[in-house]
């Protein structure tokens, strides 16, 4: 079976993984991003590590790389990578192609890579058209249209976290981790009922999740609001992209039950049966290794 | 010069036009939609009229048709056309292809056709990536990505009038004709200042425009709100499609000055320099004949 190298470059770690064409991850190794280096050293050190990995696995002919930020439309250049300044505005793919001339490289935004990973390797077959939303510190997005990553006009579409929601904030300001914490603090302030949130000391998003797990009414209200805004983001994205399948990834699987009901309320409020009749909203399935496997799935892109 | 037949099927009229490959409209004829017929008669009568037009212009080999509604992704079928029930859910393009076997046909949503018309024939060159927003009774949208109509996943993307805005209404509910009238009535109710709107009898959208032309403060406030929501729709669409050019069409050219300022306030509030540095928002230029010329421009699509 053909094997690919998938590389997930994140703000904390750079993860390398050997992935079979079935999507099976057979080996992985991670390097702290800070150690890989800053400024011009990043690409230099990255090339060294990559050389080592390729020497260990001489059968590898294709490498896919996911990066947390924006790229030029032709993917030769990185643009903005707020969490990895040393890799910003660099001719990253260009240099890799020059240096490793017998290897085919693909570089993509990490949400796009994760979406493509789901497309090829999700537990249940995903259709050719879908939206992917990833929830976490930020709220990221991607879309696959006709089986291909949707890049938009200039290469960096699907910034779904930054669209407008019904309270005038962006989706991310509402339902990113900071947004959830902010909602908890604001709601708690005027709250007259009893909530475990007022007894947990300095709040953080994890504590809000924990309170919801304990069926705390206020925490559940907060996640109901999260569902409302998540639903709105799905409405606007579906209206513009005309897809009927939505995958939701990121660290949401254990709170999805708390947001589901109000999410569908939003959706049913705004969308017509043309959309809702076939609507399928599901959790992404690749989990922890979504980054590596998604990066490897870029190797399926035709050149 | 090659000539094309452009046909703009609207709720009121079906307009036929002979368009040169330069975009020059050299002849046009219109038939009331109600006379073309209802139910199964629509396609039958349409074919008769078309046969006559093609006999008059035997050099025509390509026909482009714009319809006000949704279509199957392969364009063979019409789906929902609220203003022309007689043409709903019909194998329209399919039947035309069968009947006129020596003619190449293209059928598109009318906003998509108008956007493509601007792409080929606007006074000032339009780039390969842009969003088109048309304001009127409804608020329609289209996008051209890499020089091609963006269809989305299932063929009917860019329903920009139905995305969510910051007051929880959809964009169209805010800035469609009904929305503007509704805003006028609501605002007038609690208004303590002096406004000509209170002296105009039963209000309608045209009277609100007239009041704004007369610098009526309340009417101008209403258009400032329109600009705010128009700006929000541009923000969300740009975040998802990553384009930097926006064309605005429909009956807006004479009120655009009243919405411009607050539109840019919205945009600058939400968008970063990555978008705003190159942002170019302009009025569409094809005017009254946009429908026919847009339909004819469909003949430029490769088969």
Mean residue pLDDT across chain B: 95
Report CB contact under 8 Å: B163, A240.
yes
State the Cα–Cα distance between residues A249 and A121, nearest whole angstrom: 14
Which residues of chain A are within 8 Å of residue B153 when distances are taken between CB atoms? 128-130, 143, 145-146, 241-244
Q: What is the pLDDT of residue B1?
A: 85
Stretch A66-78: mean pLDDT, rounded? 97
What confidence category does residue B153 fall into, taking pLDDT thresholds of 50, 70 and 90?
Answer: very high
Stretch B217-230: mean pLDDT, rounded? 97
* Percent of chain B scoring above 90 in pLDDT: 91
Substitution target in B153, B158, B245 with the highest count of A β-carbons within 10 Å is B153
Domain extent for B186: 130-284
Which of A120-124, B155-159, B170-174 shows the lowest per-residue confidence on average (mean pLDDT)?
A120-124
Report CB contact under 8 Å: A244, B153.
yes
- Two structure tokens written together for B131: 């969003």
Interstrand relation of A280-283 and A104-109 (parallel, antiparallel or unpaired) = unpaired
Q: What is the pLDDT of residue A163?
A: 98
Q: Domain check: are B143 and B246 in the same one?
A: yes
Report CB contact under 8 Å: A164, B235.
yes
Report CB contact under 8 Å: B240, A239.
no
**Secondary structure in 3-state letters for chain B:** CCEEEEEEECCCEEEEEEEECCCCEEEEEEEEHHHHCCHHHHHHHHHHHHHHHHHHCCCCCEEEEEECCCECCCCCCECCCCCCHHHCCCCHHHHHHHHCCCCEEEEEEHHHHHHHHHHHHCCCCCCCCEEEEEECCCEEEEEEECCEECCCCCCCCCCHHHCECCCCCEHHHHHCHHHHHHHHHHHHHCCCCCCHHHHCCCCCHHHHHHHHHCCCHHHHHHHHHHHHHHHHHHHHHHHHHCCCEEEEEECCCCCHHHHHHHHHHHHHHHCCHHHHCCCEEEECCCHHHHHHHHHHHHHHCCC
Q: Report yes or no for ipTM above 0.85.
A: yes
Stretch A107-126: mean pLDDT, rounded? 96
State the Cα–Cα distance between residues A9 and A87, nearest whole angstrom: 10
Rounded to the nearest angstrom, the minimum Cα separation between B277 and chain A is 14
State the Cα–Cα distance between residues B223 and B213, nearest whole angstrom: 11
Substitution target in B236, B237, B243, B278 with the highest count of A β-carbons within 10 Å is B236
Number of domains forming the structure of chain A: 2
In this structure, are residues A68 and A9 in contact, taking their beta carbons and an 8 Å threshold? yes
Substitution target in A129, A163, A265 with the highest count of B β-carbons within 10 Å is A163
What confidence category does residue B10 fall into, taking pLDDT thresholds of 50, 70 and 90?
Answer: very high
State the Cα–Cα distance between residues A87 and A107, nearest whole angstrom: 13
Q: What residues in chain B have their Cβ under 8 A from chain A's Cβ atoms? A: 70, 79-80, 128-130, 141, 143, 145-146, 151-160, 162-168, 170, 232, 235-237, 239-244, 270, 274
pLDDT for A179-195, tens place per residue? 999 999 999 988 888 99
pLDDT for B34-77, tens place per residue? 999 876 799 999 999 999 999 999 999 999 999 999 999 999 99
Q: Domain check: are B292 and B168 in the same one?
A: no
Stretch A144-162: mean pLDDT, rounded? 97
**Secondary structure in 3-state letters for chain A:** CCEEEEEEECCCEEEEEEEECCCCEEEEEEEEHHHHCCCCHHHHHHHHHHHHHHHHCCCCCEEEEEECCCECCCCCCECCCCCCHHHCCCCHHHHHHHHCCCCEEEEEEHHHHHHHHHHHHCCCCCCCCEEEEEECCCEEEEEEECCEECCCCCCCCCCHHHCECCCCCEHHHHHCHHHHHHHHHHHHHCCCCCCHHHHCCCCCHHHHHHHHHCCCHHHHHHHHHHHHHHHHHHHHHHHHHCCCEEEEEECCCCCHHHHHHHHHHHHHHHCCHHHHCCCEEEECCCHHHHHHHHHHHHHHCCC
In this structure, are residues A49 and A98 in contact, taking their beta carbons and an 8 Å threshold? no
Q: Domain check: are B83 and B16 in the same one?
A: yes
What confidence category does residue A303 fall into, taking pLDDT thresholds of 50, 70 and 90?
Answer: low
Q: What residues in chain A have their Cβ under 8 A from chain B's Cβ atoms? A: 70, 79-80, 128-130, 141, 143, 145-146, 151-160, 162-168, 170, 232, 235-237, 239-244, 270, 274
Q: What is the pLDDT of residue A124?
A: 92
Contacts of residue B17, defined as CB under 8 A and 6 or more positions apart, other chains included, come to B5, B6, B7, B8, B25, B27, B28, B29, B289, B292, B293, B295, B296
Report CB contact under 8 Å: B154, A270.
no
Judged against a pLDDT cut of 80, whether residue A21 lies above it is answered with yes
* Residue in B with minimal Cα distance to A155: B242
Judged against a pLDDT cut of 80, whether residue A299 lies above it is answered with yes
Cβ neighbourhood burial of B97 (10 Å; 0-12, 13-18, 19+): middle
Q: What is the pLDDT of residue B160?
A: 98
Q: Domain check: are B10 and B87 in the same one?
A: yes
Task: Give Dmax over CA atoms of chain B in angstroms.
Answer: 66
Stretch A247-268: mean pLDDT, rounded? 93
Q: Domain check: are B9 and B72 in the same one?
A: yes
What confidence category does residue B5 fall into, taking pLDDT thresholds of 50, 70 and 90?
Answer: very high
Q: Domain check: are B95 and B45 in the same one?
A: yes
Comparing CA positions, the residue from B213, B71, B267 lying closest to residue B152 is: B71
Strand partners, B242: none
Q: Domain check: are B276 and B246 in the same one?
A: yes
Q: What is the pLDDT of residue A95?
A: 97
Rounded to the nearest angstrom, the minimum Cα separation between A111 and chain B is 13
Q: Domain check: are A81 and A146 in the same one?
A: no
Judged against a pLDDT cut of 80, whether residue A213 lies above it is answered with yes
Stretch B255-259: mean pLDDT, rounded? 95
State the Cα–Cα distance between residues A213 and A138, nearest whole angstrom: 22
Which of A20-34, A47-61, A139-153, B35-49 shows the lowest per-residue confidence on average (mean pLDDT)?
B35-49
Q: Domain check: are B227 and B165 in the same one?
A: yes
What confidence category does residue B288 fall into, taking pLDDT thresholds of 50, 70 and 90?
Answer: confident
In this structure, are residues B133 and B141 in contact, taking their beta carbons and an 8 Å threshold? yes
Q: What is the pLDDT of residue B257?
A: 95
Stretch A223-229: mean pLDDT, rounded? 97
CATH code where residue A262 lies: 3.30.420.40
Comparing CA positions, the residue from A303, A287, A302 lying closest to residue A117 is: A287
* Residue in A with minimal Cα distance to B245: A153
Q: What is the pLDDT of residue B252?
A: 79
Comparing CA positions, the residue from A57, A66, A92, A63 lying closest to residue A13 is: A66
Q: Domain check: are B7 and B138 in the same one?
A: no
In this structure, are residues B298 and B93 in contact, taking their beta carbons and an 8 Å threshold? no
Q: What is the pLDDT of residue B17?
A: 97
Report CB contact under 8 Å: A242, B153.
yes
Report CB contact under 8 Å: B242, A170.
no
Q: Domain check: are A246 and A296 in the same one?
A: no
Contacts of residue A144, defined as CB under 8 A and 6 or more positions apart, other chains included, come to A115, A116, A119, A126, A128, A129, A130, A132, A150
Q: Domain check: are A181 and A35 in the same one?
A: no
Judged against a pLDDT cut of 80, whether residue B303 lies above it is answered with no
């Amino acid at each position: 079976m053909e094997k690919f190298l998938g590389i997930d470059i994140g703000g904390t770690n750079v993860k390398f993984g050997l992935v079979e064409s079935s999507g099976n991850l057979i080996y992985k190794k991670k390097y702290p991003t800070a150690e890989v280096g800053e400024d011009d050293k990043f690409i230099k050190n990255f090339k060294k590590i990559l050389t080592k990995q390729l020497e260990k696995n001489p059968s590898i002919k294709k490498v896919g790389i996911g990066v947390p930020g924006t790229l030029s439309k032709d993917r030769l250049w990185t643009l903005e990578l707020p969490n990895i300044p040393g890799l910003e505005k660099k001719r990253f793919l260009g240099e890799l192609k020059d240096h490793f001339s017998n290897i085919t490289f693909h570089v993509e935004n990490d949400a796009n890579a994760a979406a493509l990973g789901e497309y090829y390797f999700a537990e249940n077959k995903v259709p050719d058209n879908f939206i992917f939303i990833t929830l976490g510190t930020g709220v990221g997005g991607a879309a696959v249209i006709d089986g291909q990553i949707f890049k938009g006009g200039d290469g960096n579409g699907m910034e779904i976290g930054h669209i407008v929601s019904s309270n005038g904030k962006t989706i991310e300001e509402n339902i990113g981790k900071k947004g959830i914490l902010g909602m908890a603090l604001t709601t708690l302030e005027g709250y007259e009922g009893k909530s475990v949130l007022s007894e947990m000391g300095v709040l953080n998003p994890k504590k809000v999740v924990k309170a919801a797990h304990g069926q705390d009414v206020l925490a559940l209200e907060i996640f109901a609001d999260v569902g409302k805004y998540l639903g709105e983001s799905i409405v606007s994205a579906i209206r513009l992209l005309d897809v009927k399948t939505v995958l939701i990834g990121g660290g949401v699987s254990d709170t999805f039950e708390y947001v589901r009901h109000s999410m569908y309320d939003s959706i049913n409020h705004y969308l017509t049966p043309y959309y809702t009749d076939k609507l399928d909203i599901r959790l992404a399935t690749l989990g922890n290794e979504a980054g590596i496997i998604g990066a490897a799935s870029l190797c399926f892109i035709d050149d």
